[in-house]
């Protein structure tokens, strides 16, 4: 697969087949992603590969917390506290595409709430890769983890697998860390749903647009 094709074809999958992922594929994906660059070659990424009963128990506990109104307490702020343009409009449009593909009206808050819970089940993916790092590291490690994450997503695509990077899976880090025996001296970045895509699912058919170059590029000479 050409790199250009991989970058263009990668998308966030939100419906997976009930089919397990081969262990050797997961290992190849992680080995390849580990070639991602990092400042000073620190390689700050840590990965927990979660499936089966452990994955289910984590999901059920997250859902229970959400239903009980327990406020999410992620290890870091992903979105801005105050929204400005064009980011506010882009996020709104993204949400509208998602709910439109699912056939959920904007006013149907009950169905939107139930759909949100599917995040905690990783949209039915059989495997979740939790990415985390040691909390004493500085902001550069977040950059390194981002590069590693993109490498991981593209490596999965080459193996015929679909992915969905999810910050929602890091909303209740204490649940994840307790279940997996990960120390509190870490930052849980995200979870990555990993599995085989259900290509018949309407939610997997829409694609979000990308800004034109003149919106984010400036040239100097």
Residue corresponding to tokens 């647009």: 209
- Residues 6 or more apart in contact with residue 112 via CB below 8 angstroms: 99, 104
Residue corresponding to tokens 């406020």: 71
Sheet holding 46-51, edge to edge: 46-51, 127-134, 186-195, 162-166
Task: Report the domain count for the chain.
Answer: 1
In this structure, are residues 21 and 30 in contact, taking their beta carbons and an 8 Å threshold? no
Q: Is 220 among the domain residues?
A: no
Q: Is 17 among the domain residues?
A: yes
CATH at 139: 3.40.109.10
Please state the pTM of the whole predicted model.
0.96
Between 114 and 192, the more confident residue is: 192
pLDDT, tens only, 111-148: 999 999 999 999 999 999 999 999 999 999 999 999 99
Q: Is 218 among the domain residues?
A: no
Q: Rounded CA gap, 23 and 38, in Å?
A: 26
What is the average pLDDT value for the chain, to the nearest integer?
97
Domain that holds residue 167: 3-209
First to last CA, the chain: 35
Q: Is 214 among the domain residues?
A: no
Q: Check residue 16 and give its pLDDT.
A: 98
Q: Check residue 1 and give its pLDDT.
A: 84
């Amino acid at each position: 697969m050409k790199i250009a094709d991989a970058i263009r074809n990668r998308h966030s999958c939100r419906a997976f087949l009930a089919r397990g992922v081969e262990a050797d594929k997961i290992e190849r994906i992680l080995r390849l992603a580990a070639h991602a660059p990092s400042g000073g070659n620190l390689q700050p990424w840590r990965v927990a590969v979660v499936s089966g009963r452990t994955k289910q128990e984590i999901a059920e506990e997250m859902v229970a917390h959400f239903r009980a109104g327990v406020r999410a307490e992620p290890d870091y702020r992903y979105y801005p506290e105050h929204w400005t343009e064009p980011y506010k409009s882009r996020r709104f449009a993204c949400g509208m595409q998602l709910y439109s593909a699912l056939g959920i009206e904007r006013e149907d808050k009950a169905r939107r709430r139930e759909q949100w819970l599917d995040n905690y089940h990783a949209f039915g993916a059989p495997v979740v890769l939790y990415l985390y790092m040691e909390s004493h590291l500085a902001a550069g490690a977040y950059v390194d983890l981002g590069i590693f994450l993109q490498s991981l997503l593209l490596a999965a695509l080459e193996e015929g697998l679909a992915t969905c990077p999810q910050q929602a899976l890091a909303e209740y880090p204490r649940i994840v860390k307790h279940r997996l025996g990960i120390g509190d001296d870490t930052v849980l970045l995200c979870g990555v749903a990993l599995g085989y895509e259900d290509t018949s699912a309407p939610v997997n058919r829409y694609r979000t647009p990308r800004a034109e170059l003149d919106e984010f590029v400036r040239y100097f000479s």
